[in-house]
Amino acid sequence: MTTAVAEATVITTAAVGGTTETFTSWWAFAEGKAIGFAVLALGIALVGSNEARDPVGATPAWTAWVATVAGVASFLGWALGMWLEIRPANLLWVVASVTMCLWTLWFGMALRRVPHGEMGTVLRAA
């Protein structure tokens, strides 16, 4: 959390102060982290689609499909907002990312509740 605050503070201070070199380098750093998050969104879409098609999934199939759509929408919202500068896509990115993260939390908690013996059976069946 402190890194994000420091990052935002440095970028803002550089922008207000007109320090182009500092702003450019920190902005590139922030954009690199955002690209990593966008790739994570595609990963969650993949996990969600696999979970939705699993007959003994840890979460209901409909929620996994929601996560799949949210992961793809998060990636597209970020790409359209940042790369193509389509401003409304930023709202799509935020809403889809929150949805995707909430499902990931639910999925993790559901996996935690699966008894270890059953998880081994599920993993061997795959």
Query: pLDDT digits over 14-30, tens only?
Result: 778 777 787 788 777 77
DSSP the chain: -HHHHHHHHHHHHHHHHT-HHHHHHHHHHHHHHHHHHHHHHHHHHHHHHHHHH-TT-SS-HHHHHHHHHHHHHHHHHHIIIIIS--THHHHHHHHHHHHHHHHHHHHHHHHHHS-HHHHHHHHHH-
Per the model's pLDDT, the better-predicted residue between 53 and 114 turns out to be: 53
Task: Please report which confidence band the pLDDT of residue 102 belongs to, taking 50, 70 and 90 as the band edges.
Answer: very high
What pLDDT is recorded for position 67?
96
pTM of this prediction? Answer: 0.73
Mean pLDDT of 82-93: 90
pLDDT at 51 > cutoff 90: yes
Domain boundaries, the chain: 35-125
Q: Which of 50, 80, 52 is nearest to 66 (CA)?
A: 52
Judged by average pLDDT, the poorest of 24-28, 62-66, 100-104, 122-126 is: 122-126
